[in-house]
Amino acid sequence: MKILVGIKRVIDYNVRIRVKSDGSGVETDGVKMSINPFDEIALEEALRIREAGNADEVIVVSLGGNECQQQLRTGLAMGADRAIQVDSAESLQPLTIARAFLKLVEKEQAGLVMLGKQAIDGDNSQTAQMLAALWGRPQATFASAVELSGNKAMVTREVDAGLERIEVDLPAVISVDLRLNEPRFVKLPDIMKAKRKPLEVIPVEDLGVAPENDLQFTSHTPPPVREKGIMVEDAAQLVAELKTRGLL
């Protein structure tokens, strides 16, 4: 069985986000970029599934320009067998990404697709669900535990009421949550080996997928500066202050 794992290039979660002075976007020059943390967890789980003998090959996939090859090489250094870059000069939206993934699933005859539940830049949490709908296969989202047995997967999901266990038939789409695992540390010898692993570049147009621009960002603004708090003497003063601010 082949497992396709989607990884996205994002600003590292430890970096403080800064908006460009003209409001045209987020500052990325000289900023550390990394694999989306949820995607890194998805890759770690796929590698563990392969190491347990339940999969034959793990393929990492990223959509974007040549800069995303850095993250693909990191995925290869973690242990993925090969990588695919879907080359696109445009920033793709979730539906276009899902359609591109579907073409790769059909091309590779994948038995499982694993994705992070969301990307920390867009926070859309849409691609996995859209892919499952387009593919016509089961989905298990927000996974905090995954157990494979034959052609079925038992998935523990994190939901508002607590935890939910569901069984899905493979092939399927699984999106993962933070508590699923702790991604492995990449060592220097693994980084060197990753340079020799295959990385295929496929233009998005060659997949028969046309980028869509239904959603456009007109401007970016940083969040407002948080006001300094005040100390109140009693409940009456608290209520009065809340009324003054229009909160009551």
pLDDT tens-digit readout, 167-206: 999 999 999 999 999 999 999 999 999 999 999 999 999 9
Which pTM value belongs to this model?
0.86
Q: 5 burial class (0-12, 13-18, 19+ CB within 10 angstroms)?
A: buried
Element at 93 (helix H, strand E): none
- For the residues 25-52, what does the mean pLDDT come to? 93
Domain-wise residue ranges, the chain:
2-244
pLDDT of residue 161: 85
Q: Per residue in 81-109, is it b (16+ CB within 10 Å) or e — as a string?
A: bbbbbbbbeeebbbbbbbbbbbbbbeebe
DSSP letter, residue 226:
P
pLDDT of residue 25: 82
Is pLDDT above 90 for 53? yes
pLDDT of residue 216: 79
| d(C-alpha 114, C-alpha 133), whole Å | 15
Weakest-pLDDT range from 17-26, 70-79, 155-164: 17-26
Q: What is the pLDDT of residues 117-134, one digit of tens each?
A: 999 988 889 999 999 999
Element at 168 (helix H, strand E): strand 162-169
pLDDT of residue 111: 94
What's the CATH code, domain 2-244?
3.40.50.620
Radius of gyration, alpha carbons of the chain = 21
